[in-house]
Amino acid sequence: MALKKYFYALRPLLSVRWLERYGTPAPIEFDKLLHLVDEDRPLLDDIDALLAKKRAAPEMGLAPQVPGIHRFIERELERLELTKPAGASPAAGMDRLNGVFRGIVHGG
């Protein structure tokens, strides 16, 4: 698996948590999002190790899955799937998030 793909999944999932918690746009800096999972020390350790690999070699290459990060991504996707209204289309969750984002951007 390409390790950088974990960041492609983690950043938006943590950004959603930020929107849910603070109702403001998430920061660009990935490190500022990490406190949103600070209750899960093993996950933070896995993310820290991944960040260290990224700092050492921007093109991180391939490696086996990181089980802790993989489980977090699966749990978050399941959690978000459960937050959409029953019978809603697959795009309903995205529409809701887009509405929250637009409200924030437009000062609402």
Question: Does 92 have pLDDT greater than 70?
Answer: no
Q: Pick 84 or 62 by higher pLDDT.
A: 62
Position 55 scores a pLDDT of 86
Q: What b/e string do you get for 12-26 counting C-beta neighbours within 10 Å, with b at 16 or more?
A: ebbbbbbbeeeeeeb
For residue 80, give both structure tokens.
């978000």
81, 93 Cβ separation under 8 angstroms:
yes
27, 8 Cβ separation under 8 angstroms:
no
What is the reported pTM? 0.77
**pLDDT per position as a tens digit, 35-78:** 999 999 999 999 999 999 888 887 778 888 999 999 999 999 99
